[in-house]
Amino acid sequence: MDTGVHTGPVTPRSLTQVAYDALKHRLLMGEFPLGRRLGEVALAELLEVSRTPIREALTRLHAEGLIVRLPEGGFSPTAPDLHTVRELYDVRKGLELTALHADDGHDSDQLESLLDDWRQLGITTAQGDFGADFVLHDEDFHLRLAAASGNQSLTDLLAHVNQRIRFVRMHDFLTADRVQRTIKEHISITEALLTGDRALTETRLVRHLGISRRVVERRAAMALSRMVSTGRGDR
């Protein structure tokens, strides 16, 4: 069985990362049934690691909202709430468009720095170096874009919305192609804003947010369906 464990020196920290990455991928793909208790012993046997890295990985996954704590103890997969996700995507879009049309314009130095960072990230990820936490890079882009408007209160609200939909938005970045497309879209949005063309920037930003929403909804729905069908098959 391929557990993702590679040869070479293995430390407790690296085993925790292996367990975390493997469980996160399985959760996002809907491989664990809804309501099923994620037992440490069974997961340790599944991934061929000890219980300690499993326990540490579960703690991280709980903090991210991918699993919920059961009343009797232990954890279970979180069911994606697609209705709430749609509502929060609308809120997110409204906040980002408000920031885009800020009366005082945007800080060009902040935008130049943002553009440089994402061009470099495009080079890094093209070499295959991206992980399950790419959603954090994506959030950072949108927060820095909003912050360049100078409206910190709006940026704080956007950060709160992003936190609420983060665990579902992880479904957006499961493939290298999707990551690369997102990077290209971020670069094109920033380039348009640097030229001062807000109309073009809005067109690109709205399209970008719409694509992300559709990808997330489709993949989250597929994962939820798989979680339900897997649970039925175990009865």
Please report the pLDDT score of residue 222 as a whole number.
Answer: 85
Give the pLDDT score at 213.
93
Distance in angstroms (rounded) separating the CA atoms of residues 180 and 215? 14
* CATH level 3 topology of 12-78: Arc Repressor Mutant, subunit A (1.10.10)
Record the tokens describing residue 137, joined without a space: 């890079």
Closest CA to 137 of 201, 182, 90, 107: 182
Q: What pTM, to 2 d.p., does this model score?
A: 0.75
Give tens-digit pLDDT for 6-55: 334 445 458 898 999 899 888 888 888 888 899 999 999 999 999 999 99
Tell which residue, 87, 63, 83, 84, has the closest CA to residue 75: 63
Predicted pLDDT of residue 234: 55
The Cα–Cα gap between 87 and 95 comes to 13
Cα–Cα distances in angstroms (integers) from residue 73 to residues 30, 38, 39, 47, 70, in the given order: 21, 10, 10, 21, 5
| Res. 5 pLDDT band, cuts 50 70 90 | very low
In this predicted structure, the answer to whether residue 106 has a pLDDT above a threshold of 90 is: yes
Mean pLDDT of all residues belonging to the chain:
87
The domains of the chain are located at 12-78, 82-223
Q: How far apart are CA 43 and CA 57, in angstroms?
A: 11
Which percentage of the chain shows pLDDT scores above 90? 56
Both tokens assigned to 120? 């470099």
**d(C-alpha 225, C-alpha 219), whole Å:** 10
Cα 184 from Cα 151, distance rounded (Å)? 26
CA–CA separation, 95 and 110 (whole Å): 19
Tell me the CATH architecture of domain 82-223.
Up-down Bundle (1.20)
For residue 159, CA distances in Å to 26, 168, 225 come to 27, 15, 29
| Stretch 167-185: mean pLDDT | 88
pLDDT (tens digit per residue) in 145-175: 999 999 999 999 999 999 888 888 887 887 8
